[in-house]
Chain A
Amino acid sequence: MLGATREAPPARRISHARRIPVALLLPAAIGLLFLLLPLVGLLVRTPWATLPQRLTEPGLLTALRLSVQTATLATLLCLALGVPLAWLLARVPFPGRRLVRALVTVPLVLPPVVGGVALLLVFGRRGLVGSWLDETFGVTLPFTTTAVVLAQAFVAMPFLIIAVEGALRGADTRYEEAAATLGAGRWTTFTHVTLPLVAPGVAAGAVLGWARALGEFGATITFAGNYPGRTQTMPVAVYLALETDLEAAIVLSLILLTVSVVILASLRDRWVSAP
């Protein structure tokens, strides 16, 4: 084997070219450590002895179920509104497009608590839209599960839009042009050509959005408040547990982490194995 490699210079050249440069490997390893070490910190402080007993605490499942449900609904809302918006930004030149693109990222920059106050000022009982909802339909949003979904969608949507817009801009537009030449309208082109083409980008955006929605805390507790079974999601439960019991907070965080990793990993396998 060794001799064969020596006598075949092209192969050696390839293996040389494939050697991972230290200049990339070192920062990559440090980056991975930086992301994983806090998780190790949590695992070290986990009260493994009392873990089974803590897992059966009554409020836990309720908060977990609410978190998964609301994050999923928020992701669906992001998909329904975000994909069309991303398409508009990527495909339709209109005046002020750069400004709109910048404005879409506002929720990323805004501290989530401020985002929650902003949502209250719009959708609250006295808010710009909320007061009209209250007078016309008798509907008030704050302190409801709907408010949780709205708060999560508000912070998660930019992640989806950026991912989908990037995929759209990277996609080859000649397929769309060909479809148009063959007589397909813009809607048919979008559903039959564009969407399948950028499906991986949409999936990546949805995963990012879902993860962000699942971890949402600031906007949720400000806009939706905290009430077990109705608006108390896992991050809110973790924050309150921190007030009195560090170990309970760690257990709750680990459960949230485990559930999200399991769900994301199983979804990924399904997508990858799909034809």
Chain B
Amino acid sequence: MIATRLRTVLAAVAVLAVLAVTGCADEPDAPPSAGDGISGELTVFAAASLRESFTRIGQDFESAHQGLKITFNFAGSSALAAQINQGAPADVFASAAPANMATVVDAGNAADEPVIFVRNQLVIAVPKGNPAGVTGLADLTKPDAKVAICAEQVPCGAAARKALDAAGVALTPVTLEQDVKGALNKVQLGEVDAALVYRTDARAAANDVDGVEFPESAGAINDYPIVVLTDAANPTAARAFVEFVRADTGRAVLTAAGFQAP
């Protein structure tokens, strides 16, 4: 009995030893970047409108730093700010509006001063081919036109209100959507004739919608701040990621998605 058990234990030790040896043997093959201390887990909370760009940038960042695993949490900026202030574990926060960043900074959860890394501008999203021939905000007030804009409580709605006021256009929308994707969906489904959305959203849905630029949107540009958080479990990787987003490779991905440089 005892002999059998001993043999089992010995076998297990042998297996572990082999694993340990192969593990050690692997080490010299590890990429040179392992020495820069950027590895482990990195959690990034980012605004929903950054989903496509940050997923790409995240993949590039991971391949530049072997041994690093990046996890994203994409949601509305206000929901993310609330989660961070309630103690959700995150290393980096990228917000679609300075107001939501301010609540995180005010709660003492930002390790550094937030920096603006991109800007986003409103366009008029219309069905593909622009059947109604919309050229500007004034076209949206035609009697039969059905228009969706975001509710003023969310950043895209605040920007829309600013742009409409700047243009002096009295627009009565049929709905005040809870987020920019909601407004965009209504155009894609053909339920409204136009919606005010970000240029990046219109570009991401280029198969179904066209984005019509209008001059008044210049007065309602949305700044996107990014920051490393106080409770970051991996501050080294967090700082490197913020740098990566602001450097040329990150900038190129963001510009291709329709964002503007700050």
Interface of B toward A, CB cutoff 8 Å: 76, 78, 82, 146, 148, 151, 153-154, 173-178, 182, 185-186, 189-191
CB nearest neighbor in A for B77: A243
A225→B176 contact, CB < 8 A: yes
Q: Give chain A nearest CB distance to B128 CB in angstroms.
A: 13
Q: Within the assembled complex, what's the spacing in Å between the Cα atoms of A142 and B148?
A: 12
A239/B82 contact (C-beta < 8 A), A124-B189, A124-B190, A225-B148 known: no
| Chain B neighbourhood of A126, CB < 8 A | 189-191
B175→A227 contact, CB < 8 A: yes
Q: Within the assembled complex, what's the spacing in Å between the Cα atoms of A222 and B177?
A: 9
A226→B191 contact, CB < 8 A: no
CB nearest neighbor in B for A242: B78
B173→A246 contact, CB < 8 A: no
Q: Is A143 an interface residue when CB atoms closer than 8 A count as contact?
A: yes
Residues 137 to 181 of chain A near chain B (Cβ within 8 Å) = 142-143
- Top 9 A-B residue pairs of the complex, sorted by shortest distance between their CB atoms: A225-B175, A243-B153, A126-B190, A143-B174, A244-B153, A243-B78, A240-B153, A226-B176, A142-B191
How many A residues face the partner with a CB closer than 8 A?
Answer: 23
Q: Which of A126, A226, A239 has the most CB of B within 10 A?
A: A226
CB nearest neighbor in A for B173: A227
Q: Within the assembled complex, what's the spacing in Å between the Cα atoms of A117 and B182?
A: 11
Q: Within the assembled complex, what's the spacing in Å between the Cα atoms of A224 and B174?
A: 10
Q: Is A42 an interface residue when CB atoms closer than 8 A count as contact?
A: no
Interface of A toward B, CB cutoff 8 Å: 117, 120-121, 124-126, 142-143, 221-222, 224-227, 231, 236, 239-244, 246
A243→B191 contact, CB < 8 A: no
B178→A241 contact, CB < 8 A: no
| Chain A neighbourhood of B189, CB < 8 A | 117, 120-121, 124, 126
B177→A225 contact, CB < 8 A: yes
| Chain B neighbourhood of A231, CB < 8 A | 175
| Chain A neighbourhood of B176, CB < 8 A | 225-227
Q: Within the assembled complex, what's the spacing in Å between the Cα atoms of A221 and B150?
A: 12
CB nearest neighbor in B for A141: B191
Q: Within the assembled complex, what's the spacing in Å between the Cα atoms of A239 and B154?
A: 11
| Chain B neighbourhood of A227, CB < 8 A | 173-176
